[in-house]
Structure 1
């Protein structure tokens, strides 16, 4: 189908979603959320797709919510229900990304602000250009970090840094974000596209199910005791130990060749 606010393409097992409102720094609207739901649901049902790359068009990754969007307007003197916007759009987007059947890469090509920063952090790997930055801008308009921001930030950088980012609303340069462990990698702008392609191709031939189970196990860990987590890991190891990709991985290791994983 034709999208207005995003682009969506699939090639060689790599799905690419680009937030495509460059004149508005790719800020979110209700229409963009609806299109993202369609694209992500399509990825979820397409067994040929092995990895998702999420990025933005132009000079920004995403500037967060478009405050001029219909859902954010005052109507007959009544303030909008922002909680409903979060529940209807942002909660659904984060949960879809976190439950996606393939690994995800956020390719942060510029400013990632507000919900845009949190959506990037909802992906499995975050790669940013050196010119990119992350901004928790919510305190500037009297709100709190949403879209999982209050969950992702303390886990990634610790409570002290998370609180500072949220309360002071200072820009965090991508290089410092990488140093702090907020993101996986920061790379030179000139090398960014090639680096994203390399990582996407690497993940597109990896054992997809094992990567997704890794995500699930790591996100489950904070709510488990060590004993519970060991049992949780055991359940996934049992499942994966019976998978075709495990059999292929062992065979390739024994035969000293590159594995041919199918994602099954």
Structure 2
């Protein structure tokens, strides 16, 4: 895949790695299409238990490829195509019953912030920073940033980033709840791997469905959500993993 690496290992860990370090891992159509293909492959692969997001180089993701935008003869059509492709991927990822872990080694801007917000657990380096960046190039947010950022850190703080374009450093991001843990640059991969290993020790269905339910909760009524909870816990309760753990606990 152009600008993106994707592999599923024998433990059921699906790794998606942005690999355009010279371009700050910016998202162009090639990367967007690769991301869509990777998430579709995960959706169809029952062996996947955890998704791990990362990137190569110094920058986690600088956002959309501004150079490609500038070179496009029809910028509006290009932006619609790019955003639409990434959005379909993020919608599919959001609905998966599989936890997502992100390792963020450096700056995340624009669409890169949106990609990071799609993760359930974010481990970052002290060298990381976070900025919406859209107003800097005269654009409005995409990639779920305007919905997921207020959910993560609250409306007021989100507006500081979206409207005033404030850059947030790693320590502040941890304090605000934008990220979950900090690890030194040379320990970042191991720290993310430790989180992945912890999730692999947990019952796959229970963890994955908890993740799915929490993310789905924003989009429906309380009653509808409780119906989903009831049907999901009933279905999982019929399985062997739950039977074994319930019997052990009892």
**What is the TM-score with the length of structure 2 in the denominator?**
0.91
SS at match of 2:60: strand
Give the superposition deviation at 1:226. Answer: 4.4
Once residues 142 and 120 of structure 2 are traced to their aligned partners in structure 1, the CA distance between those partners, rounded to angstroms, is 18
Partner of 1:185 in structure 2?
A: 181
Distance 1:107 1:157, change over 3 A: same
Once residues 201 and 157 of structure 1 are traced to their aligned partners in structure 2, the CA distance between those partners, rounded to angstroms, is 27
Once residues 122 and 17 of structure 1 are traced to their aligned partners in structure 2, the CA distance between those partners, rounded to angstroms, is 13
Instruction: Select 1:109's aligned residue among 96, 105, 124.
Output: 105
Distance 1:74 1:34, change over 3 A: closer
Partner of 2:240 in structure 1?
A: 244
Once residues 199 and 206 of structure 1 are traced to their aligned partners in structure 2, the CA distance between those partners, rounded to angstroms, is 11
SS at match of 1:68: helix
Equivalent pairs counted in the alignment come to 249
Q: Mind listing any 5+ residue stretches in structure 2 that lack a counterpart?
A: none
Write out per-residue CA displacement over residues 119-142 of structure 1, whole angstroms, 9 at most, x where no aligned residue.
Answer: 110112111111111110001112
Once residues 45 and 222 of structure 2 are traced to their aligned partners in structure 1, the CA distance between those partners, rounded to angstroms, is 35
Write out per-residue CA displacement over residues 48-86 of structure 1, whole angstroms, 9 at most, x where no aligned residue.
Answer: 2211111010111111111222x66342xx443255225
Is 1:142 the equivalent of 2:141? no
Partner of 2:148 in structure 1?
A: 152
Distance 1:226 1:88, change over 3 A: closer
Give the superposition deviation at 1:225. Answer: 4.8
Is this contact kept in 2: 1:19–1:57, CA < 8 A?
A: yes
Partner of 1:258 in structure 2?
A: none
Write out per-residue CA displacement over residues 136-176 of structure 1, whole angstroms, 9 at most, x where no aligned residue.
Answer: 00011121221001111111111111111101212111221
Distance 1:224 1:44, change over 3 A: closer
Distance 1:176 1:84, change over 3 A: same
Is this contact kept in 1: 2:95–2:216, CA < 8 A?
A: no
Q: Mind listing any 5+ residue stretches in structure 1 that lack a counterpart?
A: 255-264
Partner of 2:3 in structure 1?
A: 5
Once residues 154 and 102 of structure 1 are traced to their aligned partners in structure 2, the CA distance between those partners, rounded to angstroms, is 23
Is 1:27 the equivalent of 2:26? yes
Is 1:197 the equivalent of 2:196? no
